[in-house]
Structures are given as structure tokens and as C-alpha cells.
């Protein structure tokens, strides 16, 4: 490691001078960029074992799970391992008060019992190709608009053209896309295959899969068995197909071998996955914007919403099931925002990025390239000019669009109104049928109107406290005019009078449908006004986008030129990446030291039968007290649960396989520590840790706890 890369505690860490374990590396560039460093840390494989464009490799066993997680193939019969929280919505969808799989867990004891999941998909990456020259030539030839260089629509049209429609037709389930890297200074094309028949095989109860829940989220030490199992099905020829009882388990090109030996402190570990988004190339002004607007608004609003939601969940078991996923989703981003702001302030990210900018300006002056200094000046101005609009947009989004569920009711009522004003009875019946379907989609099994009413009052009061009246949606003037500023009375009025306020109201409307009733429905008018304000803010902010993206491309292009062969990894963008490091604990603050391995002892020490987050199932306690850990125990007799590593991860890495130096599966990534979430902006070598379920705990739970040991028969477990 060069001396200039050791300046973290002194001054600047260049984004192009990666620290020991920093990086989300592109697989095709692994050999030339990082492979020597990986071998120095202990890797025993060749680069082609990890990524081989001409044959199978570890890459082929790693998949996109759903829309935002990673999974890994662990058997020749298409068995997929991912996180419990990645499969949570499917587990929730199959749950009811009669069959509460969230509470009890679920295990298919035969393949006939595996549960279908419409809408869920698993995607393989078949090929990765550098298409930078191709895209640049087409951009120039097409005389394209300023923002096409980042446009997914434009780039994916190029991808289909390059692949050829006949190729896509001849390969069912195959998709292609081109993604920009380094703000549009490079482009790569990905050929993918997506399978849509994915069935739930098994999941532990939430008391294991979410043990510690929100208290432990983003925290270490951790004692959560965060995993679930699914299986991919295909047609008889192995091609992607919609669900059919005739489909068969997929025979994948590659699956992972599993090791039950674990790894020791400082041993090599690596991870392949699909990290979602990082901001390594933020300017100092974007860092301040993220801290003072995005994160501050999210922290404030979500805290209020979550307190109200949790109170209702604890009061009513039915509400707990309805809102478990909503609550978990909300708290995840909430705690991330708090941790990121803490890192920004304590590690002085604003200053670090400012020093990087000054370095580029000085270099550009020496090389007579004034465009880079000009780009920075423009970026500073744009961030300043959009400040108020961005605050209003974040407030609207967090408090109203996300915070109030009825803000998303269907508002396109014109076809119904026109039909009711006309004389065509058949058309009226059809439009009322469609409206009823829309109502049912909103007023579904996951919606509790009284919970929404309670939260809406809190959200609206806070929104009106922080956003001036002249910057609020137009319909909100009614609150002052008719209700003398009483937002609570206004919300009660919406629920008591709107056809969407309660099921009785909708039934009454269907008995005597009226165009006038729809046109004057206060909840529909509320939602329309919020949507109109959202569109207006989106349009106003979009006016800055073209210049902003162009200046960022120029800025990052300047960094690429300045650092030359010191080039580092591009920001995460949900494309497949590799990260590596070591199993290691850390010292978060003075006189506090965390080891890198947790055990079942810690689960029992945290047990609290009065707190839903720390309830321990009786069966798990029985196994613990009997010390019935089977072959999954460590050499000291302890039952491993989780471990931490210095690998560089972010959202999207949930479910990523963690591999040892020989490429064997030793764990599943599921979280990051509180002190390290700022690593999305700047890597924190002394503090950033991935939190990983030990694969031995997963096997123990499948075998000893669930009694589903038959699943282990199809796994490749190293002796």
C-alpha cells in the first residue's frame, strides 16, 4: 500500500487510491486491478475461477433475487439461499392468522409443498461486455439529447440493437441492458436470464430470522439467523417459464460448495453481489445536501411515523402482520440516515471531498484544462439553487406520499365520472366494476384505515409546521378555511366522508353512484393535490438535471484523467461486483472492543420474553441447553451464529454469498454495522464491517431446528 493511501487520519483519502479492503470491483477487470492484492491476503483461486467469460465460474452461482437483493445457488436442483428479510414479503404474503409463517416459520417437507410467488424472479448474469466505444459512437451519430448518455431507455434500446432481436427471440427469458459507469464515462453491457417461477422452500420464524429486529438493525454484535430458501423452476428444457405444475427444478450451470470449517480472525473472505448505490464521487456540496436535507428530513419524519405504527402493531396482532413489512422497510432507511449523518460529521466527509476538488482544480490549472474548475463551480451553483425545491420535495415525499397511505388512492376518476354523467348503463356498470377493483387493491388485507388515520394526523401536522403554507399543495388551504387550521379534524373529515375512508362509505356509493360524489370526494381531492404538487416539484427539480449530470460527467472524467492508472472502482449501480477483506472485529469507541464472531450464547443472553424483538423459540432453547449442535459446532464446542468482515458492502448486497479463500460458501451477508454506513460516501477502514450469518448456523437451523435435513442431502458440503 502506497504511503499516500494511508492519510485517512491525517487528511485526504483519494477516491482513486483504494484502502486495503475498500472496493466494489468489476469482475472483468478483477485480474488487472485487484487480483494480486487478493492473493496477498490469502486467496487460493485463480481469477478464472471467479470470473470466466468463456466457461462457468463462481459468478454463475450468484443471482439477483427479486428486485433488490442477492441470492446464491447452493444445489444442482436450483435451491437458492438468500436473506430472511429478502424473502420477507413472500413469507408475509403466505401468512395469515391461521397460518402465521412470520411467527412460526415455514418448511416444505416435499417439493409439492413449495409455495409459488407470483411476481418474484431470479436473474442470472450470462455475459458482461465493455461497450464504451460502441455507446460513444452511437451517441455522436444520433446527435442525442444531453441526458441520453445516462438514459436507461436510450441505452437499453442500444443494448437490444447490439444483441439483435433474433438472438433475444431464440433465447427465452434473456434480457440485455447497458449501464453507465463513472457518471457516463464508461459503459458495460449485461446479458441476463430471468426466471419467474420461484417457490418458497423454507424460512425460520421471525424470532430467528429477525432476532433483534429494529433494536439490533445496523448493529454489531448480532445474533440473527437472517436466511430463507427458495427454488427456481423451469420448463422441461431448462428455459424460463411462467408457473406451471409441469415445471421442474432448474439444473443450474454452477452452484456453490459449502464449508463447515469456518474461518479464523484475519482470514481472507470475499463476497459477490449486486450492491445498489454508493456516492463515492460526491462533491462537498452534495455531502452537505445529503446531510442537511435528505437525511435530516427522513430521520425526523420516519421517527414520528414509526412510533405511531409500532404502538398499533404492539396493540393488535392483526396489525402486526399487516404492517410488519412496512415498518421494517421504514426503519431500515431511517437508521441508515442516522448512521450516515453521524459519519459525515465525525469523519468530516465535506472537508475530504473539498480537498479532492481542490486537488483537481490545481492539477487542471497546471495542465491548462479550465473546464474541470468550471464544472465544479457549476455544480456548487446548482446545488445551491435547488435547495428549497429539494427540501419541499423530501418533505412531501416522506410525510405525505410515503407517510400517508391514502395519498396513493386511485385518482383517475374521469372515466367513471363521464360514464355516470352519460346514459350508457353498460358503460356505467363497467366503470364501476373497474373502480371497485381499484378500491380493493387499495383497501386490501395489508391496510388498516384507523392506523392510517392516526399516522396521517401526525404526518400532516409536522408537514404544515415545517413547510410554509404558500409551498403546500393547493387543497390544503381548506384546512385553514374550513377547519381553522385543525389538521386532525380535517383528517377525520376525510375518513368520514370519502368513499375510500371506510368500506361502508364505498358500499353506500355503489348503491347510489353519483358523478358529483366522486368529483367532490375530499380524499380523492387530497390525493390529487398531493400528486399535482409532486409532479410540479419533480418538473422543477428536473430542470436542473441535464446541466447537473453533464457537469458531474466532466468532473468525474477529470478525476479519471488526473489519476490515470490509479483508477478505482465505479460507484455501485446494482451491477454484479466483488468485494474482499478479512474476518475482523473493531473498536467503535474508547475502551470498547468487538470480536468478530458471535455464538448462540449471545442469543440466550439477549432473550427477553416480554420484548417481541428478543423472544427465543422453545425449540432453539432446548437445542441450546442440550448442546445438540451436531457437526456445526466450532472447535471450542460453541454454536456459531454470525461474524463480521471488512468487506465493502451496501444495500443490494443483502443475501450475498461470503466465500473463503478456496471459494467455498461460509456465510450470507445481511447487514452493516452502525458505525460503517457512511461508507456509501467514503470507506471507513477502521469501522466499516459487513455482518454475516455463519453458514453453520443456517445448516444447524435447517437440520436440527426445522427437521428439514432432507434439504442438506442435495447440498455439496465439504468434508
Last residue of a domain, one of 151, 171, 195: 195
Is residue 339 a part of any domain in this protein? no
Does some domain include residue 322? no
What DSSP state is assigned to residue 216?
H
Contact 269, 666 (CB under 8 A): yes
> Is 600 found in the same domain as 656?
yes
Residue 58 in any domain: the answer is yes
Do residues 500 and 588 both lie within one domain?
no
Range of the domain at 185: 122-195
**Where is the domain boundary, 171, 195, 219?**
195
Q: What is the pLDDT of residue 715?
A: 98
Residue pair 620/247 in contact (Cβ under 8 Å)? The answer is no
- Nearest of 328, 307, 466, 310 to residue 399 by alpha carbon: 466
Query: Does one domain contain both 104 and 143?
Result: no
User: Does residue 331 sit within a domain?
Assistant: no
pLDDT of residue 125: 98
Rounded Cα gap, residues 525 and 500, in angstroms: 12
Q: Kindly provide the residue ranges of all beta strands, DSSP E only, lying in 410-498, ordered along the sequence.
A: none
Same domain for 40 and 188?
no
Sorted by sequence, the CB contacts under 8 Å of residue 521 that are 6+ apart come out as 413, 497, 498, 499, 500
Residues marked as catalytic: 85, 226, 654
Q: What is residue 67's predicted lDDT score, i.e. its pLDDT?
A: 87
Q: Are residues 25 and 83 in the same domain?
A: yes
pLDDT attached to residue 14 = 54
Both 658 and 514 in one domain: the answer is no
Which pLDDT tens digit goes with each residue over 502-539? Answer: 999 999 999 999 999 999 999 999 999 999 999 999 99
Helices then strands, counting H and E runs in the chain, come out as: 28, 21
From 302, 535, 536, 531, select the one nearest 409 (Cα to Cα): 531
Give the closest residue to 125 by CA, choosing from 82, 189, 45, 169. Answer: 189
Check whether residue 57 and residue 200 sit in a common domain.
Answer: yes
Q: Tell me which residue has cell 483537481.
A: 360
Per the structure block, which three cell numbers stand in for 115? 409455495
Position 254 scores a pLDDT of 98
**CB-CB contact of 577 with 26 (8 Å):** yes
- Dist CA 147 CA 137 (whole Å): 15
CA gap 413, 431 in Å, rounded: 9
The pLDDT of residue 18 is: 55
Q: Measured between alpha carbons, how far is residue 552 from residues 130, 240, 657 in Å?
A: 21, 39, 33
Q: Residue 289 and residue 537: Cα distance in Å, rounded? A: 17
- Answer whether 0.85 is exceeded by the pTM: yes
Give the Cα separation of 123 and 78 in Å (integer): 12
The span from the CA of 496 to the CA of 246, in Å, is: 50
Question: How many structural domains are present in the chain?
Answer: 3
User: Both 131 and 115 in a single domain?
Assistant: no
Does 58 share its domain with 180? Answer: no
Domain membership flag for residue 379 = no
**Cα dist. 532→438, 463, 475 in Å?**
20, 16, 10
DSSP 201: E
Map residue 347 onto helix, strand or coil.
coil
Residue 163 sits in the same domain as residue 201: no
Low-confidence ranges of the chain (pLDDT < 70): 1-20, 144-145, 565
Q: Does one domain contain both 114 and 138?
A: no
Supply the pLDDT for residue 17.
54
- 527 membership: H or E segment, kind and range: helix 522-542
Instruction: Tell me, yes or no, whether 513 and 400 share the same domain.
Output: yes
- Strand pairing of 174-181 and 586-589? unpaired
Which of 595, 586, 592 lies closest to 689, judged by CA?
Answer: 586
pLDDT given for residue 20 in this prediction: 60
Amino acid at each position: 500500500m502506497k504511503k499516500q493511501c494511508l492519510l485517512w487520519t491525517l487528511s485526504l483519502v483519494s477516491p482513486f487510491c483504494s484502502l486495503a479492503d475498500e472496493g466494489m470491483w468489476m469482475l472483468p477487470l478483477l485480474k488487472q486491478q485487484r487480483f494480486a492484492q487478493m492473493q496477498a491476503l490469502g486467496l487460493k483461486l485463480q481469477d478464472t475461477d471467479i470470473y470466466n467469460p468463456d466457461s462457468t465460474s463462481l459468478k454463475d452461482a450468484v443471482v439477483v433475487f427479486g428486485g433488490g437483493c442477492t441470492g446464491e445457488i447452493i444445489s444442482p436442483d436450483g435451491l437458492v439461499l438468500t436473506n430472511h428479510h429478502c424473502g420477507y414479503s413472500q413469507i408475509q404474503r403466505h401468512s395469515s392468522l391461521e397460518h402465521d409463517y412470520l411467527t412460526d416459520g415455514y418448511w416444505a417437507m416435499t417439493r409439492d409443498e413449495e409455495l409459488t410467488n407470483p411476481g418474484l424472479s431470479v436473474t442470472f448474469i450470462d455475459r458482461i461486455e465493455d461497450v464504451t466505444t460502441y455507446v460513444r459512437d452511437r451517441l455522436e451519430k444520433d446527435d442525442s439529447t444531453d441526458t441520453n448518455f445516462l438514459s436507461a431507455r436510450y441505452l437499453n434500446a442500444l443494448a437490444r440493437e447490439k444483441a439483435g432481436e433474433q438472438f433475444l427471440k431464440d433465447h427465452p427469458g434473456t434480457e440485455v441492458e447497458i449501464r453507465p459507469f463513472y457518471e457516463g464515462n464508461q459503459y458495460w453491457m449485461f446479458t441476463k436470464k430471468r426466471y419467474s417461477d420461484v417457490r418458497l422452500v423454507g424460512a425460520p420464524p421471525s424470532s430467528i430470522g429477525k432476532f433483534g429486529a429494529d433494536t439490533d438493525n445496523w448493529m454489531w454484535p448480532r445474533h440473527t439467523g437472517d436466511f430463507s430458501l427458495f427454488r427456481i423452476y423451469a420448463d422441461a428444457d431448462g428455459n424460463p417459464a411462467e408457473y406451471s405444475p409441469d415445471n421442474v427444478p432448474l439444473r443450474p450451470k454452477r452452484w456453490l460448495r459449502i464449508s463447515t470449517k469456518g474461518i479464523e480472525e484475519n482470514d481472507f473472505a470475499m463476497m459477490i453481489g449486486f450492491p445498489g448505490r454508493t456516492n463515492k464521487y460526491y462533491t462537498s456540496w452534495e455531502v452537505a445536501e445529503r446531510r442537511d436535507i435528505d437525511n435530516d428530513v427522513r430521520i425526523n419524519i420516519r421517527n414520528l411515523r414509526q412510533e405511531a405504527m409500532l404502538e398499533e402493531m404492539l396493540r393488535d396482532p392483526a396489525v402486526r402482520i399487516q404492517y410488519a413489512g412496512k415498518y421494517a422497510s421504514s426503519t431500515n432507511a431511517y437508521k441508515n440516515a442516522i448512521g450516515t449523518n453521524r459519519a459525515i460529521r465525525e469523519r468530516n466527509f465535506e472537508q475530504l471531498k473539498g480537498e479532492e476538488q481542490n486537488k483537481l482544480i490545481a492539477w487542471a490549472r497546471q495542465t491548462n484544462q479550465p473546464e474541470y474548475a468550471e464544472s465544479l463551480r457549476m455544480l456548487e451553483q446548482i446545488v445551491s439553487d435547488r435547495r428549497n425545491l429539494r427540501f419541499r420535495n423530501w418533505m412531501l415525499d416522506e410525510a405525505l406520499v410515503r407517510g400517508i397511505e391514502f395519498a396513493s388512492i386511485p385518482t383517475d376518476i374521469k372515466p367513471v365520472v363521464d360514464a355516470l354523467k352519460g346514459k350508457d348503463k353498460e358503460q356505467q356498470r363497467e366503470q364501476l366494476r373497474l373502480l371497485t377493483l381499484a378500491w380493493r387493491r387499495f383497501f386490501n388485507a395489508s391496510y388498516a384505515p384507523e392506523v392510517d388515520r392516526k399516522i396521517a394526523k401526525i404526518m400532516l401536522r409536522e408537514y404544515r409546521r415545517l413547510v410554509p403554507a404558500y409551498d403546500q399543495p393547493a387543497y390544503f388551504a381548506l384546512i385553514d378555511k374550513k377547519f381553522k387550521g385543525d389538521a386532525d379534524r380535517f383528517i377525520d373529515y376525510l375518513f368520514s366522508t370519502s368513499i375510500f375512508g371506510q368500506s361502508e362509505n364505498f358500499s353506500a356509493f355503489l348503491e347510489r353512484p353519483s358523478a358529483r360524489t366522486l368529483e367532490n370526494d375530499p380524499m380523492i381531492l387530497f390525493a390529487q393535490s398531493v400528486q399535482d404538487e409532486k409532479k410540479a416539484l419533480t418538473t422543477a427539480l428536473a430542470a436542473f438535471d441535464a446541466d447537473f449530470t453533464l457537469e458531474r460527467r466532466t468532473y468525474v472524467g477529470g478525476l479519471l484523467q488526473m489519476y490515470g492508472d490509479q483508477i478505482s472502482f465505479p460507484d455501485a449501480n446494482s451491477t454484479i461486483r466483488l468485494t474482499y477483506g478479512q474476518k475482523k472485529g473493531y473498536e467503535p469507541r474508547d475502551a470498547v472492543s468487538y470480536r468478530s464472531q458471535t455464538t448462540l450464547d449471545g442469543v440466550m443472553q439477549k432473550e427477553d420474553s416480554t420484548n417481541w424483538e428478543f423472544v427465543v423459540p422453545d425449540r432453539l432453547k432446548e437445542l441450546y441447553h442440550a448442546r445438540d449442535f451436531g457437526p456445526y459446532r466450532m472447535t471450542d464446542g460453541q454454536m456459531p451464529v454470525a461474524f463480521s468482515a471488512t468487506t465493502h458492502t451496501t444495500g443490494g448486497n443483502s443475501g450475498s454469498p461470503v466465500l473463503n479463500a478456496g471459494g467455498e460458501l461460509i456465510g450470507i451477508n445481511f447487514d452493516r454495522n452502525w458505525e460503517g454506513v457512511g461508507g456509501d460516501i467514503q470507506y471507513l477502514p477502521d469501522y466499516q464491517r459487513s455482518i454475516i450469518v455463519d453458514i453453520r448456523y443456517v445448516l444447524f437451523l435447517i437440520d436440527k431446528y426445522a427437521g428439514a435435513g432432507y434439504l442438506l442431502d442435495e447440498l455439496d458440503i465439504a468434508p
